[in-house]
Structure 1
Amino acid sequence: MIRYALRCAHDHGFEAWFGDSAAYDDQASRGLVECPVCGSHSVSKQIMAPAVSGTKNRPSSGDAARMQTVMMQAAREVRSHVEANFDYVGDAFAREARDIHEGRAEKREIYGEATPVEVKKLKDDGVPCAPLPPLPPDPAKAH
């Protein structure tokens, strides 16, 4: 994975992760890289220092455990928010997402199930979608 600092033609700065530099080039050439602020597809990479990991600044095992706890809590909160505020459409997710994107259905926030093939087709066609984080184990029931 590689993280790029990006800037749109309207001078909005943001960051995005890509599988590798070729993935960014491919997505940018197909107009799939978009500014989250204004939606502009005129986006360019900015100069960025590489992140080099060393042995001096590694988190202690206590820090790593705290970070894991924080990340699991964040995943729980994201999932709870989606389940409470989005419409569940079950295995019709791919069809519903495409219909909303193409204006054939009312714009609303949805979640549901889709196969990896359906998700790839949605992404290839520029339909925004992202996986819902799995529900982490309940910390009260751990160990």
Structure 2
Amino acid sequence: MIIYDLICEHGHRFEGWFKTAADFADQESTGMLNCPTCGSYHVTKLPTASHINLHRSEPKTPDHVVADVSNTLLEKIQDYVASHYDDVGNDFPEEARKIHYGETAARNIRGTASIDEVNELNEEGIQALPIPGAPVDKTKLN
């Protein structure tokens, strides 16, 4: 399996996974590659640093790759919510209701609620979405 960093004519970067370098060349020459973001068929391979495996450890399995991508995406979502939403803590269900029913100014909020409270809010037509807590950074453990 070979992984290339690709970019479309609109600057969207993405990865392409190919069985061999020849498979990439075949797909590129026949116009089979397209950008998953915009659909453009004008895709080129980006230059990448060579990877030299100095250790004899097993390469990451696809499951590990998916977990890494999921954790990165979750961290980005958490960072965005933390910087763009007001933290109302344990008062989240009450504040969400006040905003929904016009008792207080509309704004983006975040806080703590049980699954039952989130379900009740959703049944009332109030959009609430649980976001998992931050993954533990194993490098910062004592």
Q: State the TM-score, normalized to the length of structure 2.
A: 0.53
Q: Is 1:102 equivalent to 2:101 in the alignment?
A: yes
Q: CA deviation at 1:63?
A: 1.4
Q: Which segments of 5 or more consecutive residues in structure 2 lack a partner in the other structure?
A: 1-58
1:116 alignment counterpart: 115
Give runs of aligned pairs for residues 1-143 of structure 1, distance below 5 A.
62-138=61-137, 140=139
CA, structure 1 residues 139+63, in 2 after alignment: closer, same or farther (shift >3 Å)?
farther
Matched-pair contact (CA < 8 Å) for 2:118–2:130: no
Query: Which letter does structure 1 place at the counterpart of 2:97?
Result: R
Query: Which letter does structure 2 place at the counterpart of 1:92?
Result: D
Identity among equivalent positions (%) equals 30
Q: Which segments of 5 or more consecutive residues in structure 1 lack a partner in the other structure?
A: 1-59
Matched-pair contact (CA < 8 Å) for 1:78–1:133: no
Paired residue total: 83
Determine the C-alpha separation between the residues in 1 that align with 2:64 and 2:138.
12
Matched-pair contact (CA < 8 Å) for 2:92–2:111: yes
Determine the C-alpha separation between the residues in 1 that align with 2:124 and 2:92.
15
Determine the C-alpha separation between the residues in 2 that align with 1:125 and 1:88.
22
Once the two structures are superposed, residues 8-53 of structure 1 have per-residue CA deviations (whole angstroms, 9 ceiling, x without a partner) of xxxxxxxxxxxxxxxxxxxxxxxxxxxxxxxxxxxxxxxxxxxxxx
Query: Which letter does structure 1 place at the counterpart of 2:96?
Result: A
RMSD (Å) for aligned C-alpha atoms? 2.0
Determine the C-alpha separation between the residues in 1 that align with 2:115 and 2:76.
24
Q: State the TM-score, normalized to the length of structure 1.
A: 0.52
